[in-house]
Amino acid sequence: MEIPEHFEFVRLDEFVIMNDHIHGIIQIDKPVNDNMYNIMNNVETRQCLVSTVGADDTVNAVNTKPYWFQNPWKWTLWTIIWSFKSVCTKNINRIPKKCNFSWQPNYHERIIRNEDEYLKIKQYIAENPLKQHYWNE
């Protein structure tokens, strides 16, 4: 899986590709910049940019472009999943004798909050193929 090659702050942990779904742990190590909170709290109107944080926060300190010319959602989980699905779909559609392929419309996400939860989810992912084999017999 090449996701970390396209998203520099993303790391893949345990994952498994099943016959009809994927399980995986995606770690997003840090946001693109420390000013992301201020960028995400700006509100655009038709007349002007109105900031909910302060007048000086309407410009990104890292890039000096107003936030609406940037992509503050570039590093969100949604963008990572959407990009992955898009690339996979394009590659599958290039196969001459492809199967009847389609993605499930949504995905289930869960924030892992502690080490115990992380270990349980990691174990679930590792054991899932065994359960799938058992259910298919």
Give 38-97 pLDDT, tens digit per residue: 444 444 444 444 444 544 444 444 555 554 455 656 668 888 888 888 888 888 888 887
Does residue 23 contact residue 15 with C-beta atoms inside 8 Å? yes
Nearest to 79 by CA among 67, 71, 88: 71
Residues 110 and 79 in one domain: yes
Q: Are residues 79 and 126 in the same domain?
A: yes
* Integer Cα distance of 103 and 79 in angstroms: 15
User: Domain residues for 21?
Assistant: 3-31+75-136
- Residue 22 · residue 16 · CB < 8 Å: yes
> Are 22 and 45 in a shared domain?
no
123 and 94 within one domain: yes
- What's the whole-number mean pLDDT along residues 3-28? 85
Whether residues 27 and 40 share a domain: the answer is no
Tell me the percentage of the chain whose pLDDT exceeds 90: 12
If asked whether residues 18 and 81 sit together in one domain, one would say yes
Q: Indicate if 80 and 98 belong to the same structural domain.
A: yes
User: Is the same domain home to 40 and 54?
Assistant: yes
- 64 vs 116, more confident: 116
Domain count, the chain: 2
